[in-house]
Amino acid sequence: MIEQQVIQILSKHCEVPYVDIALHHRIQQDLGVDSLGVVEIVLDIENQFDCECPDHKIRSLRTVADVVEFVKNSA
């Protein structure tokens, strides 16, 4: 469930079809998201899952799996 919601958010921001996004994809390199896009994704993740991502943690969210793991650990 969390994985699917995270991928939907990423799909919306990077304009890559949902079905083409995998856990191993790197957000910036593979999905083409720039640094501002990463911030927007984090804001959406925080709103969707009612969690807070400290600024220093954002840099460690490199792959789709990293984001999913962050959300799971924030719940």
Reply yes or no on whether 34 is catalytic.
yes
Q: Taking the domains of the chain in order of start, what are their residue ranges? A: 2-74
Which of these is catalytic: 20, 30, 34, 50?
Answer: 34
Is the per-residue pLDDT at 67 higher than 80? yes
Token pair 């958010």: residue? 9
Mean pLDDT of 64-68: 97
**pLDDT tens digits along 6-53:** 999 999 999 899 999 999 999 999 999 999 999 999 999 999 999 999
Give the residue from 7, 26, 29, 28 showing the smallest Cα distance to 18: 7
Q: Could you tell me which CATH class the domain 2-74 is placed in?
A: mainly alpha
Give the residue from 2, 38, 44, 10 showing the smallest Cα distance to 19: 10
Is the per-residue pLDDT at 1 higher than 80? yes
Task: Give CA–CA dist 47/28, Å, rounded.
Answer: 21
What pLDDT shows up at residue 15?
86
